[in-house]
């Protein structure tokens, strides 16, 4: 047995689907993790040259700088409509959107619901960080009851400011939605699960099964006023109970039947 020098075995590399530029995200922000997972999956599926991304308006507005794929930059909330136009005239391409919670669940609520209802063959990555990151930490439709934000300084009050919207549960109700799952980015196990879901969401599109969305619970240490590790703890302890992780809809036949499982 020959022994190769350890140093030549790469254990961590930049995926081809990511560009070689530093991101503008704050230290400890999980947007970067989500980008990397998506890029790794694009590499693994070998679809970098046949994928078109649609960036939204929010902290991820510059997503196009980081993905080495063709990209469009949509108006606030309109990424699913723009993706609809792109996909309908390019059915042989993989089209994905990358949207925050203000973008997807507030100003773009109509666009996401109807894209799902139509069963648009697009893949949506929905980063839920329970706040408007880019504009400085205002209340989002997904902010938790009691969560202090710059526009709910006393804490979100259900009576006057409404209650959090669970978009995945809502969208899973629609017949057009084929694949809807919620994952989290707060620790290694969850990140690995998130990556699997990202891969499945692309496969749903590749196989023409319909609309696919992965909601990712994400951190905003800057606007939450927390250290990065504290922020990850807040996802686990405060967000996950309000936004249960799991599969809300998975098309039949997407996953191989488990050994020993009954048909």
Partner 1 sequence: MAVELLKGNVAFAEAAVRAGCEAYFGYPITPQTEALEHMAKRMPELGRVFVQAESEVAAINMVYGAAAAGARVMTSSSSPGVSLMMEGISYIAGSEVPAVVVDVMRGGPGLGNIAPAQCDYLQMVKGGGHGDYRSIVLAPSTVQELIDHTVLAFDLAEAWRTIVVVLADGSLGQMMEGAELPPMRPPRPPSERAAWALTGAIGRPTNLVSSIHLEPSEEEAFNQRLQAKYAAIEAAEVRVEEHLTGDARIAVVAFGTAARLAKTAIAAARDDGLAVGVLRPITLDPFPTAALRALAERVDGLLVVEMNAGQMLQDVQRVVAERVPVRFFGRTGGVMPMPEEIGAAIRELAHEVGAADDAAPWQEVPA
Ligand X SMILES: Cc1ncc(C[n+]2csc(CCOP(=O)(O)OP(=O)(O)O)c2C)c(N)n1
**Footprint of ligand SF4 on this chain (CB under 6 A)?**
25-26, 29, 31, 59, 129, 133-134, 220-223
CB of 229 to partner 1, least distance (A): 30
Q: Taking CA 110 as the corner, what is the angle to CA 31 and CA 67, rounded to the nearest 5 degrees?
A: 30
CB of 11 to ligand X, least distance (A): 30
Rank residues 15 and 141 by Cβ distance to ligand X and give the closer one: 141
Q: Annotate each residue in 94-113 with x if it binds ligand X (CB under 6 A) or - if it does not, as one string.
A: ------xxxx----------
Question: Restricting to residues 111-150, which ones interact with partner 1 according to CB under 8 A?
Answer: 111, 113-114, 118
Q: How far apart are CA 214 and CA 133, in angstroms?
A: 19
Tokens 């469009």 found at: 72
CB of 8 to ligand X, least distance (A): 38
Question: Restricting to residues 49-108, which ones interact with partner 1 according to CB under 8 A?
Answer: 49-52, 54-55, 61, 64, 68-75, 78, 81-90, 93
Q: Which residues bind partner 1 (CB under 8 A)?
A: 48-52, 54-55, 61, 64, 68-75, 78, 81-90, 93, 110-111, 113-114, 118
């Amino acid at each position: 047995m020959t022994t190769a020098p350890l140093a030549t075995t790469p254990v961590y590399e930049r995926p081809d689907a990511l560009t070689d530029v530093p991101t503008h995200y704050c230290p400890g922000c999980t947007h970067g993790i989500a980008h990397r997972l998506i890029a790794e999956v694009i590499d693994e599926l070998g679809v970098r040259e046949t994928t078109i991304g649609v960036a939204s308006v929010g902290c991820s507005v510059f997503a196009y700088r980081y993905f080495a794929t063709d990209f469009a930059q949509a108006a606030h909330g309109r990424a699913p409509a723009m993706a609809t136009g792109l996909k309908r005239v390019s059915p042989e391409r993989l089209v994905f959107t990358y949207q925050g919670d203000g973008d997807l669940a507030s100003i773009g609520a109509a666009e996401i619901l109807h894209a799902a209802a139509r069963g648009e063959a697009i893949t949506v990555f929905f980063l839920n960080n329970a706040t408007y990151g880019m504009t400085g930490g205002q209340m989002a439709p997904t902010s938790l009851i009691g969560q202090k934000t710059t526009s709910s300084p006393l804490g979100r009050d259900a009576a006057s400011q409404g209650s959090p919207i669970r978009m995945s549960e809502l969208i899973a109700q629609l017949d057009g939605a084929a694949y809807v799952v919620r994952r989290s980015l707060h620790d290694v196990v969850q990140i690995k699960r998130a990556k699997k879901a990202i891969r499945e969401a692309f496969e749903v599109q590749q196989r023409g099964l319909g609309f696919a969305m992965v909601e990712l619970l994400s951190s905003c240490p800057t606007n939450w006023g927390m250290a990065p590790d504290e922020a990850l703890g807040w996802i686990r302890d405060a967000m996950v109970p309000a936004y249960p992780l799991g599969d809300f809809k998975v098309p039949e036949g997407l996953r191989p039947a488990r050994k020993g499982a009954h048909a």
